[in-house]
Amino acid sequence: MKAWRPWPRSLASQMAVLIALALFVAQAINFGLILNERSKARVLQAARPAAIRIADALDREVEGGRDLVADRGRVRRFPANPILPVVVKRDPELAAEVRRQLTEQGVTYRRVDTGQLNQSDQGTDRAGWKGARHYNRPAQMMIAVEQPDGRWVAVRAPWPQPGPRLLIALLTQTMILYGMILLPVIWIGRRMSRPLRDLASAARAFRPGEATAPVEERGPADVRAVIAAYNTLGTRVTAMLDEKDRMLGAIGHDLRTPLAALRVRIESVEDDDDRQRMADTVDEMARMLEDILSLARLGRSSEPPSEVDLAALVDAVAEDFRDLGHDVETRDADRLPWRVRPAMMRRAVRNLVENAIKYAGSAEVVVERRPDGACIAVLDRGPGIPEDRLAHVFEPFIRVETSRNRDTGGIGLGLALARAIVQEIGGTLTLTNRDGGGLAATITLPLPRN
């Protein structure tokens, strides 16, 4: 089961998410600016009329000699601060704006106090206003100004509360923007990523030496340039591999000829021991040459994959070693058909069995089916390999001196060649030390793709 990833992986999805986040941040900033402007406008709409009314009422009081207590207008006079018994919360910003407006009107004052009225007090006479109770009246703010003589004048101003309309309008606007911007972006992103996906599929399916059609060049100019470069690269790689095969063929032919001539000439050596040692040396050189050429040509094998019975293939390899007098055991296994290159797979199993015989004197080969594929294990009871060297023995020409001495023969290509053969068909080759001593070389083949 794949782990959930919070960040999308495709180009179109990443573009859509980034633009969606950018739009969200932009709309959030826009919403904050709008709220700030509306707050300033609300303060100004409440402060300016209130300051004008207070200034006019004070002027009328001075000119007409009429007490504001008896005035039926909106401005009232109080002996003390009328806000204290009815206030819900104060608004310093409104008070500052009222002070500025009063200063512009030329009104002299000691201080200004503001407070939002309780909903239950907005229509009663608790604050000095007589009249009917208005239960549905919108929120109001009381603005009180203390005069130099210690008396107070107060006025009410409407104080609209922010409703859901602004939020709904902003959400609607955001959804419209998302629809108008994200849909074209997703379409463009998918149009750009489709040729890239085709390019990735072609790169994964690329096999040196196999004739493949070039990837169609489509999409934006940059993407077409990448596809064209890939097609050119594939052509160059194939040409280089062809040249390498021709060179290896020439090397193999040129080296085999003198080796064969040398093999014939050593027959004239009279001493039997010397003749046998020389023949063994020539045979070892021939095997070394064959291993090097096989490793270099891997991936360009002329042998087509075919379905074989892995159990029968392993039995045939073990029987070849038994015919030579080696101790190789196999376990009875059910028929296990699998699609591989038969000769190359026999070569990989033979290399593993040969290593086990060289360093342990015997080998046991086990074939079994697993839920995730097939497994071929070659087991021995030899000296094993130090844990810190297990990953390095797969490298060409690498030998572990502490446990694999040179007297056993070989040049360190057996494991490298076996792993390369297994990896070519998508499998893995692992080495693990066994409990009680010995080594387990395990080939794991994945289930075939449908």
**What percent of the chain has a predicted confidence (pLDDT) above 70?**
79
pLDDT at residue 130 greater than cutoff 60: no
Structure letter (DSSP) for residue 313: H
What are the residues facing 366 on neighbouring strands? Answer: 377
> Phi then psi for 152, rounded to 5 degrees?
-120, 145
Measured in whole angstroms, the distance separating CA 14 from the mean position of its chain's CA atoms is 11
Q: Which pTM was predicted?
A: 0.47
Q: Which amino acid is at 207?
A: R
Q: Rank 68-77, 118-127, 375-384 by mean pLDDT and report only the highest.
A: 375-384
Of 157, 154, 133, 147, the residue nearest 85 (C-alpha): 154
H/E element holding 199? Answer: helix 164-205
Q: What is the pLDDT of residues 11-27, one digit of tens each?
A: 777 777 888 888 888 88
Question: pLDDT tens, 233-249?
Answer: 888 887 777 777 677 66
Mean pLDDT of the chain: 78
- Contact between 351 and 429 under an 8 Å Cβ cutoff? The reply is no
pLDDT, mean of residues 433-438: 87
Lowest average pLDDT, out of 67-71, 188-192, 225-229, 396-400, goes to 67-71
* Mean pLDDT, residues 200-213: 76
